[in-house]
Structure 1
Amino acid sequence: MTQENTVHGTVAEGFEAVREEFTAFVAGERDDYEGQLCAYVHGRRVVDLWAGGAADSLYGVFSSTKGAAHLVAALLVQDGTLELDRKVTYYWPEFGAEGKGSVILRDLLAHRAGLVGIDAGFSPEEMADDRAIAERLADQKPFWRPGTAFGYHALVIGALAGEVVRRATGRTLQEVYEERVRAPYGTDFYLGLPESEESRFRTVQPALPSPEQQALIAAQPTGPRTLTSIAFNAHVPRPGTLEEYVNSRRVRAGGQASAGGVASARGLAKMYAAAISEVDDRPPLLKPDTVAEVGQIHSVGYDLVARTHKSYGLGFQATADMWHPSLGAGSFGHSGAGGSQAFADPRSGLAYGYTRRRMVFPGGAAPENEGLVRAAHKAALAG
C-alpha cells in the first residue's frame, strides 16, 4: 500500500470490519484515490475514515445535495408551514401556467410533476441560480401529465422545492438549511460554500471509464431532444460536464439545491444522524411521524428519465429499494453522480456518509458502497 493509499481515522469497538472493508478497497485503487467514510449509530459517531486528502477535505457531492433540500422541506411540513396535499399554486401562483395548476406539493417533491427541464435549455449562469431555474420552469409545459408517472428531476428539483420554500417563508431554502441544520449542528455540508472554506475544497476529477464502458456510453440513446437529455440540460449547444459544473465557484457559492452542495463524509453522515437521532445533546430534527412520511415510497417503477427501475420517498431516494436491500424499510437518503452516498436507516439507527474525489462510471452511488454499507449495517445491528 502506498502512502497515498494509507487509511487514516478511527472506528468504534464492533466496527472493525468496516475499517477492514474500506482498507481492502483502498488498497486496490489507483494511487490518487481520495475518499472518506463516516457513520453514526443512534447519534454516536462510530466510523471516521479517510484516504488521500484530509479528514476535513470537502468534495462536490452532486445529487447528495438533494438530501439537504428535502430535509428542509420535511422540516417545514413538520412545522405546518407547508402542506403536502396543497396545490403548488397556493404558494407559487405563477407555477400554474401551461396546465400545471393541479400539481400538489407531494407530487412535486416525488418527481411526478413532469417538469424535468425546459425546451430551450438553461444557460450556465441560470444553472447556478435556483431562482432563475424556477422562473423558467414556471412557464414550461410538463413533459407528461402530472401525477401519472415519474421521472428524475435531476437538475431542477431543488429549485422547484426552493421556490415553494421561498414563497412560504420569505427565506431561501439555503438560508433555512443554514439556520436550522448546518449552523446549529456544525455539519460540514454546505449549500453555499463560504469563501473562507474554499481552501478545503478538492477539485472533482472526471471518471476514467474502461474501453468497454466507453463503448456503452457511445451506444446510449441520448439524442439532443430526449427526455433524458432535457433533464440533464444536455440538449444545449455547449452543455459542459458534470465535474465542470461542481468545480465552478459560482455553483459552489450559490449552493444550487439540486446538485451544487459541498460536503465531507462527516457532514453527510452527521446531517442524517441529526435527522433521526439525538446528536450533541440536541433532539432529532424529525419526529417519528415525519421520518415515516419521508421514508414512505411515493414513486416506484419505471423512471421516465433514468429509463430504469427507481424508487423515491418524499423527495429522498428510497435507499433500501434503490441501492442497499439489506437496509430497513423506510431508509431514506440520496446518492450523487460523483459516487457519494448518504442516508439514514431509522430502524437500525445508522446514518451513513461517503465521499470521493474522482467520479465513477456511470454515476450514482459508487460500487464500493455495497460492501461498506453492508459492513456498517451489520455492525449497527449487532451493537
Structure 2
Amino acid sequence: MISRGRICLAVLIVSFLLTALVLAALITIMMTSSDLDPSNDESSDVPTTMGGVVHDKRFEKVVEVFRSNLDAGLERAGAAFAVYYKGKPAVHVWGGYKEVKEQRVPERAEQPVKVLAGTPWDQHTMTVMFSTTKCLSALALAHVLQSSPSLSYSSLVTDVWPAYGQHGKERTTIGDVVLHSAGLPYGSRPLTPDDVQRPEVLAKYFEESTPIWEPGSASGYHALTIGLLVDQIVRRIDAKGRGVWAVLDDDLLRPHRIVDVSMGLRKEADNARVATLSGPDRYDIEREKLRNPESLRLYNLGNNSYNERLNEVFSWITPTADDYNRLSNRLLSMPSNLGIANAEELAHALSIVASGNFLHDKTLALLSKPVLEDEMDIINGYEESKGYGFQYTKSPKGSWIFGHSGLGGQNVRIDVEEGLAIAYLCNGMKVFGQPFWATNRETFFH
C-alpha cells in the first residue's frame, strides 16, 4: 500500500506547480481581448472523442490539450475541467471513463494502461474532491467571520470555544487553525466514522488533545483535522449554530441552484453518478518517474512518523481508492477531504466567490494574498505559501491565485483580479500530481 504521506505530499507539490501552468494558459488565452463580448461567446460543441462545450472560442487550445492528454493515456480513467470567467461559463470539457471495467496493462512502464471497457464520463458525473474540499471549508469560515465584527483570524479560539483552551492550546488563534499551525494534525486517540459525524464527540476530542508542537510556532499539514476543527469554530460563530456544510449549502450553493457540490453524498442514490476511483499502481509510479525524475524525491518526503500516526488515527479513511469508493465513507460529511462535486458546478460556485457575491470586498482582499510565503511545512517537508485555509501560487502577471489541490490530482483555483474560477477533477488517481497540464506546455504561453 502506498502511504498517505507519500501520496498527499507528492500530489500537493507537483499539482501545485502545474497549477501555475494551468493559470498561465488560461490567462494568456483569455486576455487576447480585455473582456468577453457577444462575438466571443459563440458556443461550439467539443469533438465527439470527448464531451462538453466551449462558450468562448479562445479556450479551444485548452480543449486541445485536454484531448491530447486523453489520447496519450495520461488520464488513467476519466476527468473533467471547467472554467468560469467573470461570472460566465467559459468551458466545460470531460472525457474518459467514470468507471473502468477492463484494461490492458502495458509491457513497459513508458506505455500507458489501455482501457478496453468502461462507463463513459458524462456532463453529470461527479467525483470525490479530496483535499480541494478544504477550499470550501475555508470559504465557510470566512463567510461567518465577516458577519461577526468582534471576531477575526487573530481572535483566540477560546473567544468562541472556551473549553478548547486546555493542554497548551489556550493561545491558539483561529488563524493558527486554518494556517495548519494548531499542532493537531491528529488527536490523542483513534477516531471512528461515527465520531466524525457527532459534533459533541469531536468537541471533547479536540478539547482533551494536546498539541504535538506549540500552536503558532510552525505550520504542518493538518490533512484530515483542519476541516473538523473549522467546523467546530463555525458552529460557535454562526448565529444559527450551523456547521460548515450547512453554511455553504444555505448561503452559497442553493441560492444559485448548485446541487452537484456537497460534503458527503446528499443522498445515497447520488452515488450512481459518482466516478469510481482507481489506482495508482506500480505502472503509474514507474511511468510518472520516467516523466519527472525529481518526483521520486518528493514522493518519499511524506514517509514520516507524522503520517504514520495519522493513518492509525484515521485507519478507515486511508489515501486509497478502496476507502474513498466505499459508500459508507462517501456518506460522511467530512469538511477536509470528502467533498463530492461535478466540475462545472464546482467552478460555478467558485466563480460566485471570485465575483464578490459571497464574501465582502474586504474579506476577499484579505484572502487574496498568502499569510505564510514560501514557509516550510514540517509534515510535508517542503516550502509552501499558505493563507487562511488556502494554497497560493503566482499568475504570469504576478498576482496571487488561491485555492487547493487534492489527492490524486484534483485542483481548484480562484484568480480574483481576472475573475477566474477553475475546477479540475479526475478519478484516475495520480501519484505525483496531475499530468493534465504537463504536456504541450508551450501551448500555454502562445
Q: Quickly name the TM-score band, shorter chain normalised.
A: 0.7 to 0.9
CA offsets per residue over residues 274-329 of structure 1, 9 Å max, x none? 1011xxxxx62122221121122122311011111112111111133xxxx53652
Q: Could you tell me whether the CA contact under 8 Å between 1:298 and 1:312 is conserved in 2?
A: yes
> In 2, distance between residues paired with 1:31 and 1:184?
34
Matches within 5 A, 1:79-158: 79-80=147-148, 82-126=151-195, 132-158=201-227
> Cα–Cα, structure 1 residues 218 and 338, in superposed 2: closer, same or farther, change >3 Å?
closer
The amino acid that maps onto 2:72 is G
**1:26 matched to 2:84:** no
Q: What residue is the counterpart of 2:436 in the other structure?
A: 368
Larger strand proportion of the pair:
2
Q: What residue is the counterpart of 1:193 in the other structure?
A: 265
CA offsets per residue over residues 75-116 of structure 1, 9 Å max, x none? 112222642221101111221111100111112111111111
Q: Could you tell me whether the CA contact under 8 Å between 1:75 and 1:286 is conserved in 2?
A: yes
Matches within 5 A, 1:163-178: 163-169=232-238, 170-178=241-249
> Cα–Cα, structure 1 residues 244 and 98, in superposed 2: closer, same or farther, change >3 Å?
farther
> In 1, distance between residues paired with 2:315 and 2:78?
33
> Cα–Cα, structure 1 residues 25 and 149, in superposed 2: closer, same or farther, change >3 Å?
same
Aligned-pair distance for 1:354? 0.5
Q: SS state of the match for residue 331, structure 1?
A: strand
The amino acid that maps onto 2:176 is D
Runs (5+) with no aligned partner, structure 2: 1-47, 97-120, 290-294
Q: How much identity, in percent, do the aligned residues show?
A: 27
Q: What residue is the counterpart of 2:333 in the other structure?
A: 255
**1:226 matched to 2:305:** yes
> In 1, distance between residues paired with 2:427 and 2:230?
28
Q: What residue is the counterpart of 2:347 in the other structure?
A: 269
**1:344 matched to 2:387:** no
Identify which of 418, 421, 424 aligns with 1:354. 424
Runs (5+) with no aligned partner, structure 1: 278-282
CA offsets per residue over residues 228-266 of structure 1, 9 Å max, x none? 333x43467777443333223333223200001101111
Between stretches 192-201 and 102-111, larger displacement belongs to 192-201
> Cα–Cα, structure 1 residues 271 and 219, in superposed 2: closer, same or farther, change >3 Å?
closer
Q: What residue is the counterpart of 1:280 in the other structure?
A: none
Q: What residue is the counterpart of 1:9 in the other structure?
A: 52
Matches within 5 A, 1:237-316: 240-277=318-355, 284-300=357-373, 301-316=375-390
Q: Which is bigger in relative contact order (C-alpha 8 A, separation at least 6)?
A: 2
> In 1, distance between residues paired with 2:299 and 2:409?
22
> In 2, distance between residues paired with 1:254 and 1:219?
29
Aligned-pair distance for 1:48? 0.7
Between stretches 197-206 and 245-254, larger displacement belongs to 245-254
Q: What residue is the counterpart of 1:179 in the other structure?
A: 250
> In 2, distance between residues paired with 1:136 and 1:65?
22
- Indicate the structure (1 or 2) with the bigger Cα radius of gyration: 2
> In 2, distance between residues paired with 1:38 and 1:125?
34
Q: TM-score, normalised by structure 2?
A: 0.73
Aligned-pair distance for 1:128? 6.1
Identify which of 280, 289, 304 aligns with 1:207. 280
Q: TM-score, normalised by structure 1?
A: 0.85
Q: What residue is the counterpart of 2:108 in the other structure?
A: none
> Cα–Cα, structure 1 residues 206 and 346, in superposed 2: closer, same or farther, change >3 Å?
same
Aligned-pair distance for 1:6? 2.1
> Cα–Cα, structure 1 residues 123 and 154, in superposed 2: closer, same or farther, change >3 Å?
same
> In 2, distance between residues paired with 1:351 and 1:236?
32
Q: Could you tell me whether the CA contact under 8 Å between 2:412 and 2:423 is conserved in 1?
A: yes
Matches within 5 A, 1:40-59: 40-52=84-96, 53-59=121-127
> In 2, distance between residues paired with 1:85 and 1:19?
43
> Cα–Cα, structure 1 residues 237 and 201, in superposed 2: closer, same or farther, change >3 Å?
closer
Q: What residue is the counterpart of 1:72 in the other structure?
A: 140
**1:38 matched to 2:82:** yes
